[in-house]
Structure 1
Amino acid sequence: MDTLVFLGTGDAMGVPRVYCSCETCMEARTGGQNARLRSSVLIDNGSDFFAIDCGPDWRRQMEQQGLRSMRRLLITHAHFDHIGGLPEWADACRWMGHRGELYAPAEVIPIIQRQYPWLSGHIDMIPCDDGIELDGWQISTWRVNHGKNGYSYAYKLEKAGYTWVYCSDSISLGQEEYAPMHGADLLVLGTSFYYEAAELSTRSVYDMTEAAELLKVVQPARTVYTHMSHDVDIRKDYILPEGVTLAVTGMRLTLDRG
């Protein structure tokens, strides 16, 4: 039975913000529920795992889970909060004596290589545009709008009649972009704010009020919000659609309908 583990649930800057004394950051600073590393998940089959994204908190996330090596990784896009841990992973692969397998859309791979040209010494970078299979999961990917930050990719994973989608960085999705999410058993969706007042053209990730409208259309059986900024205080009783949960670090979900 496969398990989804939330390694990190924060936005690009994480929580607490070093400069901030808001209630959320102060609670997080004392080791509270709002402490958030950059967003990443792993899929554990009981004997091995693969992860989605590898931000600058990767080493700390691995230590928190008691993990000493990682062989396989999916990347959603080449922003620092999603690839900043790749040098540490490459170094771990070097010392563990195995080559890592990094799967990403073809157009993302050259961006990673330009930023970290030495990674290929220890990591194989494999395009996944036409789909791949990992641990029995049939995995497909497609480009999604990331607002002022350009684009990201979502992943759809299917196995034994169970379907779930990971879409951490997106906003204002069009029909072709949200169509693969329709009727998923689980949707993991990035929502940086509960309500973000900034002008839409300056933004890059859904807020929770906008996400609620998306859920009315795609109708997943269950939704988990991740990629949350310090605007979101996990202790508050937010008005959320039925079936929506806010992710917390270390949360584990069984990936089946049982």
Structure 2
Amino acid sequence: MTDTLMFWGTGDSMGVPRVHCSCPICEEARTTGRNRRYRSSVSLQSAAHGALLIDCGPDWRTQMEQFGLRDMDQVLITHAHFDHIAGLPEWADACRWQGKKGRVFAPLEVLEIIRRQFSWLEQHLELHDCSAGLDWGSWRIHPWKVCHGKNGYAYAYRFDRTEHTPYSFAYCSDSIHLQGEELLPLYGLQLLILGTNFYKEDAPFHTRSVYDMTEALQLLEETAPVRAIFTHMSHGVDIRLAAEPDGYALPPHVRLAETGWIVPLH
């Protein structure tokens, strides 16, 4: 069977709706819910090897309940910001009650921050350094450091499958203004999953940390993936406009991610 990606969350660091906000997008998220967005996370799912969750944010428990899950074994972390690791204590507690240890994979400097923030975590979770890469099922996973603007750095991951049908995709949720060697892993992809907080962000550039869609489209012109999916979206993005003629004017090979969406990797 074909491996798949499932979008667990597609929101930025604060999620959608914002508690304080009554904008049309937040109000729609509270009612019909198309724009309701949990913090960004995806699951690589394999019939032969189980699931590898990428990032474990503060909505982890809600996401597990939504998808009817009671057990999880492996997580790959992009960076140690709250919206990407705040679910680890709840997962560790679940592992405690289940009498097992989960496995967390991340580059060493990310693991060191996690250890400082949650000193007791390794009682229930094994922390594994994947700085040199990771083999998971038929995938070779390569991490690389990317610019996260005013927020410092994050890691992105490239996945390459050489067995059966070759396929390459990358998950790059938190980045901006990538240059030089940061761009190299983005070439030759069938699929790029890229974080885009807004369609067009007007804040001064030095205060920003994630691409907007207009900048991302320029990046796609340069790196030329076969397909692209935008995620990590703020309450400034209305998912309903993606299909409208006068909406975001995205090219046919670019989509906006939605919670629960399953993407076959072939």
Alignment match, 1:96: 98
Distance 1:51 1:193 in 2: 25
Amino acid corresponding to residue 218 of structure 1 in structure 2: T
User: Any unmatched runs of 5+ in structure 2?
Assistant: 242-246
Q: Please list, as runs of the form range in 1=range in 2, the aligned pairs for 1:173-252 lying within 5 A after superposition.
A: 173-236=178-241, 237-252=247-262
Of 196-205 and 61-70, more deviation after overlay is shown by: 61-70
User: Any unmatched runs of 5+ in structure 1?
Assistant: none
Distance 1:241 1:142 in 2: 28
Residue 242 of structure 1 and its aligned partner are, at CA, apart by 3.4
* Cα deviations by residue, 1:102-137 (Å, 9 ceiling, x for unpaired): 000111111001111110001111110111111221
Distance 2:188 2:238 in 1: 29
- Give RMSD over aligned pairs: 0.9
Q: Does 1:80 align with 2:90?
A: no
Alignment match, 2:16: 15
Q: Please list, as runs of the form range in 1=range in 2, the aligned pairs for 1:14-163 lying within 5 A after superposition.
A: 14-46=15-47, 48-159=50-161, 160=163, 161-163=166-168
Q: TM-score, normalised by structure 1?
A: 0.98
Of 231, 255, 258 in structure 1, the residue corresponding to residue 265 of structure 2 is 255
Alignment match, 2:244: none
Residue 165 of structure 1 and its aligned partner are, at CA, apart by 0.1
Of 104-113 and 38-47, more deviation after overlay is shown by: 38-47
Distance 2:169 2:3 in 1: 12
Aligned length: 256
Distance 2:191 2:145 in 1: 19
Classify the secondary structure of the residue corresponding to 1:107.
helix
Amino acid corresponding to residue 29 of structure 1 in structure 2: R
Q: Deviation above 3 Å: which 4+ runs of structure 1?
A: none
Distance 1:12 1:38 in 2: 6
Residue 167 of structure 1 and its aligned partner are, at CA, apart by 0.2
Amino acid corresponding to residue 260 of structure 2 in structure 1: G
Distance 2:231 2:256 in 1: 7
Q: TM-score, normalised by structure 2?
A: 0.95
Distance 1:122 1:135 in 2: 24
Residue 31 of structure 1 and its aligned partner are, at CA, apart by 4.1
Distance 1:38 1:176 in 2: 28
Classify the secondary structure of the residue corresponding to 2:240.
coil
Amino acid corresponding to residue 249 of structure 2 in structure 1: I
Classify the secondary structure of the residue corresponding to 2:116.
helix
Identity of aligned pairs, percent?
A: 57
* Cα deviations by residue, 1:47-82 (Å, 9 ceiling, x for unpaired): 511100000000111111111111111000000000
Classify the secondary structure of the residue corresponding to 2:239.
coil
